[in-house]
Chain A
């Protein structure tokens, strides 16, 4: 027998002999109870966000959604957003509500959500590498204004042993396809800052956009168009994790979720 197989076999025997540890009394009940409470809170918040989302898209407002993960426990919708007609059961059926477009923490491979979403008017279509300050951007005549954008942001600065790592996620929509064109051409109301366009892995496509930090190749931004909407991931990873692979994977995940979601398309 190969010596490594022998070692593995010995480990297997030891683990079997060690048996199963006994569960503390009440551990499962406590987990079920805590999970149930958290789930109910998320459903209610999600229901509120979904209801407000559809209305806001029509009205041209920015949408608030709850943070995921640990943040969800603390998240409270702002007072202006609190009234909702969505019942928990309606929200329960609405699995594809706006908040569900974000990656789960299990998808983040080591990163964790640390705070709530950034919300408010005039958000960038891609959080992180864009600036919307008119004093910097200058005249934006003809640009599709952010007021027509429904954006969702989540931020997660995370300190690991490998350094500071973070990621931001954005979902945006425009009144028409000019929004995407302006994003690519950098002629919209928000402009790229600190990044430059790069080639999408496997070749460029009209519905995909990759940008890399001008002074920091570990910062990668991936954007995908889904109709008149877009999903974006801005990610900085250290160590051995390839930020391009991660950005492309996560934005693909969000794009797939957006395609499957009832999140309304904006404009024609």
Chain B
């Protein structure tokens, strides 16, 4: 008897044209963005998947938008900010992250150490401030784009970024190697 794999009961629905290429190309970058927002691997994947599902649903609108990358990041930031609002339990990890980051010397150059330090810094910020800094310093976006993605004015971006950096400064100073 001829062998064969399991028979699929239904063919998976085909995504609209162009979306698959976009998702595969942008996926890793978007995961890095999501990871820097959530500070948690599993949460980042959840946020990414949730965003991508909605990206497929709204692909035509995304595709037609002037800046698709910006549109997708806006979806992700909105989801992240509203998700944090609805389920804020994750915030209890902030202190733990800071504690974990504190003993790590900045002289180390491994990705793990850098990740711990970055997480420790970002963990003390509220979701919106974190989104502003991640867009600015991870994504290298100008303030006008940050404003558009986060849904606030450019002036607000500058104020939020200024306050957030002021908050991070003592952490950085405390972490600097002695001598």
Is B97 an interface residue, CB under 8 A from the partner? no
Which among A11, A21, A105, A161 is the interface contact of B32 at CB below 8 angstroms?
Answer: A21
Give bound CA distance, A23 to B57, whole Å. Answer: 22
> Please, which residues of chain A bring their CB within 8 A of the CB of B147?
none
Is B36 an interface residue, CB under 8 A from the partner? yes
Interface size on A, residues (CB 8 A): 45
Q: A4-B162, A14-B118, A28-B24 are in contact. Are A33 and B12 (CB under 8 A)?
A: yes
Which among A18, A27, A35, A111 is the interface contact of B115 at CB below 8 angstroms?
Answer: A18
Stretch at the interface among A36-44, A50-58, A124-132, A224-232: A36-44
Is A31 an interface residue, CB under 8 A from the partner? yes
Contact B57 A35 (CB under 8 A): yes
Contact B60 A40 (CB under 8 A): no
Give bound CA distance, A123 to B56, whole Å. Answer: 33
Residue interface bits B117-144, CB-to-A below 8 A is 1, else 0: 1100110000000000110111010000
By size class, the interface of chain B is 35 or more
B binding-site residues for A, Cβ under 8 Å:
12-16, 19-20, 23-24, 27-29, 31-32, 35-36, 41, 44-45, 48-49, 52-61, 74-75, 78, 81-82, 85-86, 88, 109, 111, 113-115, 117-118, 121-122, 133-134, 136-138, 140, 151, 161-162, 165-166, 168-169, 172
Contact A35 B53 (CB under 8 A): yes
Contact B81 A110 (CB under 8 A): yes
Q: List 26 A-B contacts (CB under 8 A).
A: A7-B168, A8-B133, A8-B136, A10-B172, A12-B138, A12-B140, A17-B111, A17-B114, A20-B31, A21-B31, A21-B35, A27-B27, A27-B48, A31-B48, A32-B19, A32-B23, A34-B56, A35-B52, A35-B57, A37-B13, A38-B53, A39-B15, A105-B54, A106-B75, A109-B82, A160-B85
